[in-house]
Amino acid sequence: MSTPTSGSTPTQQLVDAGVSIWLDDLSRARIASGNLAELITSRNVSGVTTNPSIFQAAIGNANDDSYDAPLAALAASGADVDGAIFELTTTDVRDAADIFRGVFDATGGVDGRVSIEVSPDLAHDTDGTVAEAKKLWAKVDRPNTLIKIPATKAGLPAITAVIAEGISVNVTLIFSLERYGEVIDAYLAGLEQAKANGHDLSAIHSVASFFVSRVDTEVDKRLSAFESEDAEALKSRAGLANARLAYELFEKQFGAARAQELIAAGANVQRPLWASTGVKDPALPDTLYVTELVAPGTVNTMPEKTLEATFDHGVVTGDTVTGAYADAHLVFSQLADLGVDITDVTQTLEDEGVAKFIASWQDLKKTVAAALAAAPETSR
């Protein structure tokens, strides 16, 4: 592990420690202003993640008029709401992918990635997810895209089927170690099928997005109900422990014979990606889920606020994951001893995660429907 270089920025130190920094945000204004390109050089940003909530915030932003003309043109063409959203979001992702193409080329396809998610309405529809993933991949038409598929039970076979087609995937909404193990299996099965289908395994990339801060929020809420010193001492520790044990599982599974055989045939590991890294508790350090989850070959996708906090005052001390497995196991055994049902915690979070994205998607549909209806009659 490299030690932080004196005089270098915290974001550069993260990169030196093997962490790829991706921005968890996208908007047409950020693209057009040059801000997105600027972050590559000034903040070591090497990729972008989007989700339904991010697009809802961008397109629904009353202070951003960059979507007005495209919406008017879509109204004139007779586009419906779903068609308009598809056009707007895939255009933004394609434009962002072009900005990051240099990073993609320089890193051999590892970074420079821009993610776009299948409709959350399809979270429990395997066939619908596969169909939309193929449609998104074809529409964006850039090799540095990642298609986001949620790690629901219905999402798992979709991940395998999409990887088998040679499409690169960002698996999202992972909360539990058990489900993460199933995600790795789905990825490896997809690679095996892709190999049988004659695809170049080296061109297929994937990340597994493990959510962090939401775990603390839910666990801490349950710990408060115990009203004990032991419970208080465990607050704000479950999220990091869960993510660290995910990395332990990553090392184990990708070091095993099944994965090694695929890697020998040219396949890439599916990198762990830390998502939900914004700190929600003001009593905690605002870089907690960045500096405490440093490990080689990981991605940390950050909202801008977290990125700026990290750049400003993040203290990077090298690998903070692989030496902390024993402590992470201890946290989970102590939570179990108290009676915190982690299985229920993670299922609750998955259900809430899907529901939140569906709600954002419905809000986006309403916003776009209103914009299409309000477009000048002369433009139609």
Q: With contact defined as beta carbons under 8 Å apart, do 119 and 361 qualify?
A: yes
Q: With contact defined as beta carbons under 8 Å apart, do 302 and 274 qualify?
A: no
Instruction: Give tens-digit pLDDT for 20-32.
Output: 999 999 999 999 9
Q: What is the mean pLDDT of the chain?
A: 96
* Per-residue pLDDT at 1: 42
* Per-residue pLDDT at 238: 98
Residue 201 in tokens: 């395994």
Q: With contact defined as beta carbons under 8 Å apart, do 268 and 166 qualify?
A: no
Instruction: Give tens-digit pLDDT for 57-113.
Output: 999 998 999 999 999 999 999 999 999 999 999 999 999 999 999 999 999 999 999
Q: With contact defined as beta carbons under 8 Å apart, do 243 and 274 qualify?
A: yes
Domain boundaries, the chain: 10-370
Which among 148, 221, 280, 356 is annotated as catalytic?
148
Beta strand 113-117 with 206-211: parallel, antiparallel or unpaired?
A: unpaired
* Domain spanning 10-370: CATH 3.20.20.70: yes
* Per-residue pLDDT at 375: 80
- Work out the end-to-end distance of the chain between its first and last CA atoms, rounded to an integer number of angstroms: 60
Question: Can you give the pTM of this predicted structure?
Answer: 0.96
* Per-residue pLDDT at 134: 98
Tell me the pLDDT of the chain (380 aa) as tens digits: 444 445 699 999 999 999 999 999 999 999 999 999 999 999 999 999 999 999 999 999 989 999 999 999 999 999 999 999 999 999 999 999 999 999 999 999 999 999 999 999 999 999 999 999 999 999 999 999 999 999 999 999 999 999 999 999 999 999 999 999 999 999 999 999 999 999 999 999 999 999 999 999 999 999 999 999 999 999 999 999 999 999 999 999 999 999 999 999 999 999 999 999 999 889 999 999 999 999 999 999 999 999 999 999 999 999 999 999 999 999 999 999 999 999 999 999 999 999 999 999 999 999 999 999 988 654 44
Q: With contact defined as beta carbons under 8 Å apart, do 336 and 32 qualify?
A: no
> Is 148 a residue of the active site?
yes
